[in-house]
Amino acid sequence: MTKPCQQVDRATTTTTISNYSKKHQKRTNISLLMISCYSPKLSIFILAICVSLFILFQIQSLQISTSPSPSPSWPSFIPQFHKLSTNCTRDLHYSTMAEKLRHSVTFLPLKDLRYSDKALQGHTWFMSSMYDSHEEGEVQFQQFPSKSSMGRLLCLKGRDTHDGSWNYYALTWSETLPFNATLMKGLTFISYNHYNYENIWHGLSAMVPFVAWHKRYGCETPNRWVLYHWGELRLGIGLWLTNLMGATFNEDPIIERFEGINEDEAVCFEKAVVMRHNEGGMSRERRMEVYDLMRCKARVHCNVSMEGRDSKFIGMTLFMRSGPRSFKNESAVVDIFERECAKFDGCRLMVAYSYNLTFCQQVTLMSKTDILVSPHGAQLTNMFLMNRNSSVMEFFPKGWLKLAGVGQYVYHWIASWSGMRHQGAWRDPDGENCTFPEDDRRCMSLYKNGRIGFNETYFSDWARNVLTEIKTRKLEEESQNGSASTSYQCACG
Ligand SMILES: *[C@@H]1O[C@H](CO)[C@@H](O)[C@H](O)[C@H]1NC(C)=O
Ligand SMILES: *[C@@H]1O[C@H](CO)[C@@H](O)[C@H](O)[C@H]1NC(C)=O
Ligand SMILES: *[C@@H]1O[C@H](CO)[C@@H](O)[C@H](O)[C@H]1NC(C)=O
Ligand SMILES: *[C@@H]1O[C@H](CO)[C@@H](O)[C@H](O)[C@H]1NC(C)=O
Ligand SMILES: *[C@@H]1O[C@H](CO)[C@@H](O)[C@H](O)[C@H]1NC(C)=O
Ligand SMILES: *[C@@H]1O[C@H](CO)[C@@H](O)[C@H](O)[C@H]1NC(C)=O
Ligand SMILES: *[C@@H]1O[C@H](CO)[C@@H](O)[C@H](O)[C@H]1NC(C)=O
Ligand SMILES: *[C@@H]1O[C@H](CO)[C@@H](O)[C@H](O)[C@H]1NC(C)=O
Ligand SMILES: *[C@@H]1O[C@H](CO)[C@@H](O)[C@H](O)[C@H]1NC(C)=O
């Protein structure tokens, strides 16, 4: 603000003029023709004066209309006013303009109702006027302040937990914060999730891009998280995720609730990073690095030691569920896998129930697991905590293939993203008999919570094939000397 007067931003002015002259070339040519019957020198002089005056008059509206900002409604004319001032008392102008700006910070709804029915078709109706920065293969995000925000901070009036169109966002400079706004210091992560943060899979998907950003841009850790679902404020994440994020960032996440802040008063963030696309746009390599980082940090946090591991050791874990999608006859399933495991030197079968393990018990168990055997369900999200290249065997009750939609493949995806090998799925041909035809959607409510039987021949053959593959890989690794390293250094310390 206190720059000397001469520092007019020539670059901007020049672009504006060249934009201007391109647009208005026709009109300029006509004037030239009219004037050219007089002395050419005089005509050019007059023309220059006229054009300059015209530009000066037009410059304000022009700059608004050619502004690259996606939302011209923001008061972007102030810096230009500032530049054009030829009077060295501009600070006075500036402070009155700043005062006006503080009154005119424009808040738009977080949830843009125009796109609310297209939420999943890729249109970002959350903060719909903003664009993400995106480099090929990297995480997509918005950062405030930044070059693309023209140095403006992000402000929210966003406490509503029931309707995202009653929550608002705005951009403004730190000198022109709205009246009575609270400035939150440090780094704030702002997440938009189309699903539920309590759900381990959907919650993790929402957190992954922040970990990617953290890893890529200097390992900075957040001071707080602001969570939105459909533009509605959410006040918590599940326990497992809290633990995972706590391990990843070295401290438990603080979820902002905007307590003690009036509904109509804004909160502005010194530095904010906004994610709206989960892992979208990230290459497989980048995703694997993020899972590597979380695995590594979780093991450090839980004091998991990889020292003294026998290189012949093969851990096979039956990760059981209770209730929906549990095995109907657990002991029969355990027997089958136990028998196959016993045929392999170094194989050890472990049976665990996800619902009564603590986070660190799960981390420890997964660090010893080379083959994870488990029904379709949230507990499978733990798979990325195994060493890379470990295997997953998944089980479905009857009816899912036809009716459960694309969501049934999420554990194929996470296996691919975290560098695991999904060894396919067994789908129970038997189960509840639906009164409608088998591919009728109404049957899904019956199949959804179905339980899972077994096929001894199939399970035995399958287990043997996977065990053989693991055994072969371990022998190869051993002969290549030490890819199964015992100590690890996490990215980001
Ligand atoms: C600059 O502006 C101030 C206040 O607006 C005015 O008093 C002063 O005369 C102006 N100076 C010139 C050189 O225009
Ligand atoms: C700021 O808060 C004070 C005290 O709560 C109130 O009197 C004032 O009107 C507020 N200002 C604006 C611009 O809302
Ligand atoms: C890990 O070990 C450290 C020091 O030995 C201890 O303070 C910490 O509580 C342990 N953490 C867990 C999760 O056991
Ligand atoms: C479970 O399977 C075993 C082996 O096939 C069988 O002996 C046992 O009766 C079954 N248990 C139940 C409860 O069906
Ligand atoms: C977990 O549940 C299983 C079966 O209900 C039980 O045998 C086991 O002792 C439990 N483990 C813990 C740590 O509570
Ligand atoms: C996983 O397997 C691939 C292909 O066999 C191999 O190139 C890679 O080094 C393995 N990664 C680890 C961490 O063992
Ligand atoms: C479903 O029907 C089949 C054959 O019609 C029968 O064998 C099976 O026991 C039935 N399943 C249930 C759960 O009733
Ligand atoms: C069990 O699986 C085998 C293939 O592995 C198949 O041939 C057989 O028909 C299956 N048995 C039943 C009862 O579905
Ligand atoms: C493995 O590598 C270490 C050094 O990195 C070497 O001392 C050792 O002899 C190697 N072992 C085999 C079996 O190649």
Please give the pLDDT value at position 237.
Answer: 93
Residue with tokens 């705005």: 170
User: Smallest Cα–Cα separation from 280: which of 225, 211, 208?
Assistant: 208
Helices (H) and strands (E) in the chain, counts: 14, 13
From atom 2 of ligand 2, which residue's Cα is the shortest distance away? 180
pTM of the model: 0.78
SS3 of residue 229 by DSSP? strand
User: Taking CB atoms and a 6 Å cutoff, what residues make up the pocket around ligand 4?
Assistant: 329, 331-332
Please give the pLDDT value at position 50.
Answer: 54
Q: Mean pLDDT throughout 388-401?
A: 93
Ligand 3 centroid to Cα of residue 286, in Å, is 30
* Residue 166 DSSP code: G
Q: Which ligand is nearest to the Cα of residue 247, counting in written order?
A: 3
- The reply to whether ligand 8 has any atom less than 6 angstroms from the CB of 179 is no
Residue type, 443: C
Residue 375 exposed, middle or buried by CB count within 10 Å (0-12, 13-18, 19+): buried
Contact between 214 and 492 (Cβ < 8 Å):
yes
Residue with tokens 């603590």: 358
Question: What backbone torsions phi and psi does residue 224 show, to the nearest 5 degrees?
Answer: -165, 160
Please give the pLDDT value at position 348.
Answer: 97
Query: In sequence order, which residues have a C-beta less than 8 Å from that of residue 246 and are 6 or more positions away?
Result: 252, 253, 301
From atom 12 of ligand 9, which residue's Cα is the shortest distance away? 481
Spatial separation of the C-alpha atoms in residues 279 and 272, rounded to whole Å: 18
Q: Which of 430, 432, 438, 443 for a ligand 7 pocket mutation test, highest count of atoms within 8 Å of Cβ? A: 430
Contact between 158 and 233 (Cβ < 8 Å):
yes
pLDDT in tens, 200-222: 889 999 999 999 999 999 999 99
Contact between 177 and 247 (Cβ < 8 Å):
no
In degrees, to the nearest 5, what angle opens at C-alpha 208 toward C-alphas 321 and 315?
A: 40
pLDDT in tens, 325-381: 999 999 999 999 999 999 999 999 999 998 889 999 999 999 999 999 999 999 999
Q: What percent of the chain stands above pLDDT 70?
A: 78
Highest mean pLDDT among 77-91, 126-140, 325-339: 325-339
Flag whether pLDDT at 74 surpasses 50: no
From atom 14 of ligand 9, which residue's Cα is the shortest distance away? 481
The minimum-distance atom of ligand 5 relative to the CA of 361 is 13
Ligand 4 centroid to Cα of residue 329, in Å, is 6
Of 76-90, 250-264, 277-291, the range with the lowest mean pLDDT is 76-90
Flag whether pLDDT at 87 surpasses 70: no
Break the chain down into helix, strand, coil percent, rounded to 5: 45, 15, 40
Helix axis angle, 200-216 to 284-301, nearest 10°: 100
User: Taking CB atoms and a 6 Å cutoff, what residues make up the pocket around ligand 9?
Assistant: 481-482
Flag whether pLDDT at 280 surpasses 70: yes
In degrees, to the nearest 5, what angle opens at C-alpha 313 toward C-alphas 381 and 301?
A: 45
Residue ranges of domains in the chain, CATH in brackets: 10-100 (no CATH), 105-282 (no CATH), 286-479 (3.40.50.360)
Flag whether pLDDT at 460 surpasses 80: yes
Spatial separation of the C-alpha atoms in residues 399 and 437, rounded to whole Å: 11
pLDDT in tens, 294-341: 999 999 999 998 777 788 899 999 999 998 999 999 999 999 999 999
Residue with tokens 């088998």: 438
Quote the tokens at residue 26. Answer: 């026709």
Please give the pLDDT value at position 482.
Answer: 56
* Residue 310 DSSP code: -
Please give the pLDDT value at position 165.
Answer: 87
In degrees, to the nearest 5, what angle opens at C-alpha 365 toward C-alphas 468 and 467?
A: 5
Which whole-number Å values give the CA distances from 488 to 27, 246, 298, 491, in the listed order?
A: 69, 19, 12, 10
SS3 of residue 308 by DSSP? coil
Please give the pLDDT value at position 105.
Answer: 87
CB atoms within 10 A of CB 195: 14
Please give the pLDDT value at position 71.
Answer: 40
Contact between 167 and 111 (Cβ < 8 Å):
yes
Contact between 350 and 334 (Cβ < 8 Å):
no
Please give the pLDDT value at position 436.
Answer: 84
Q: How confident is the model at residue 121 (pLDDT cuts 50, 70, 90)?
A: low
Spatial separation of the C-alpha atoms in residues 193 and 234, rounded to whole Å: 10
Ligand 9 centroid to Cα of residue 468, in Å, is 25
Please give the pLDDT value at position 48.
Answer: 60
Q: How confident is the model at residue 226 (pLDDT cuts 50, 70, 90)?
A: very high
* Residue 426 DSSP code: E
- The reply to whether ligand 8 has any atom less than 6 angstroms from the CB of 480 is no
Spatial separation of the C-alpha atoms in residues 133 and 141, rounded to whole Å: 6
* Residue 293 DSSP code: H
Contact between 390 and 421 (Cβ < 8 Å):
yes
pLDDT in tens, 17-72: 344 444 444 444 433 334 344 455 655 655 565 555 545 544 444 343 333 334 43
Q: What percent of the chain stands above pLDDT 90?
A: 53
Spatial separation of the C-alpha atoms in residues 422 and 408, rounded to whole Å: 13
Ligand 8 centroid to Cα of residue 154, in Å, is 59
The minimum-distance atom of ligand 7 relative to the CA of 433 is 1
Mean pLDDT, the chain, whole residue set: 82
Flag whether pLDDT at 152 surpasses 80: yes
